[in-house]
Amino acid sequence: GEKLARAADAAGVSPQAFVAARRAEIQKLWKLLDISYTHFIYTDRPDHTVSVQRMLRLPQKNEPGVIYKAQYEGRYCVFDELYISESREPANCPVCGRPGELISEHNYFFKLSAFQDRLLKLYDEHPEFVRPDFRL
């Protein structure tokens, strides 16, 4: 994202090189802390890419159009990677208090409303599904 691109630019390297260096640092730290893992997953790993593509195709098979590309315009906090408001009016991030930047970009959206009736029925029939219960 934008935060990573800016950090890489400040370091004078490509985003891929920046991430590779951070990944190596994390793996060294985990080894030092005696943390083991069976797979170290990162987003540009080929098997991860294939899995994500498969996962994103699945809802489209049953609900065509549920994932769609559209223009987003609004306020965004790069520091917290948080969409603040769809308004063009100045707004501060509710997390860090920094001013949100006005951005305009194409993004992928998920049409949650397509599942509204089914989700409401699920929550009604199985209130334990949502935890903590005050989220209902």
pLDDT digits (tens, 9 = 90+) for 45-95: 899 999 999 988 888 888 899 999 999 999 999 999 999 999 999 999 999
- Whole-angstrom Cα distance, residue 113 to residue 26? 39
Domain encompassing residue 79: 67-110
At 44 the three-state DSSP class reads coil
The per-residue pLDDT for range 36-45, each reduced to its tens digit, is 999 888 888 8
Question: Number of structural domains, the chain?
Answer: 1
Is 32 within a domain? no
Asked if residue 4 belongs to a domain, the reply is no
> Model pTM?
0.67
The answer as to whether 76 is a domain residue is: yes
